[in-house]
Amino acid sequence: MLDAKKVIVCRCEDVTLYDVEKAIDEGLTDLELLKRKLRIGMGPCQGSGCLLLVASVLARKKRTPVSEVPLPVSRPPITPVQLKFFAGGKSG
């Protein structure tokens, strides 16, 4: 048996499979809520690594197809941009 406390689902924020399953059991049965509770998808990778993984855990727990789990909206910018890009002018 896998130890859910040792399976990392989100590397940016160090979230384990156990954390995800516990939150779902408490009633946070929505990726948007899991994102805020566990910070999944809010690190530098912006969810590219973990969101689908968490979606499949949620689908298994809710006994629904993964395709029926709504995904969180993506916020701009698609890739991180430095503030100087918008500030203009010289550094300093």
Residue pair 69/57 in contact (Cβ under 8 Å)? The answer is no
Based on the shown chain and the rule CB under 8 A, indicate whether residue 87 belongs to the binding site for other proteins.
yes
C-alpha 12/C-alpha 8 separation (Å) is 10
Question: What's the min distance (Å) between Cβ of 91 and other proteins?
Answer: 6
Binding to other proteins by residue 37, rule CB under 8 A? yes
**Residues in CB range of 10: below 8 A, 6 or more apart:** 38, 39, 40, 41, 43, 49, 50, 54
68 binds other proteins (CB under 8 A): no
Q: Which helix (H) or strand (E) holds 32?
A: helix 31-38
Q: Does 82 bind other proteins (CB under 8 A)?
A: yes
Residue 67 engages other proteins in binding (rule: CB under 8 A):
no
Give the residues lining the site for other proteins (CB under 8 A): 26-28, 30, 32-33, 36-37, 39, 42, 44, 46, 75-77, 80-88, 91-92
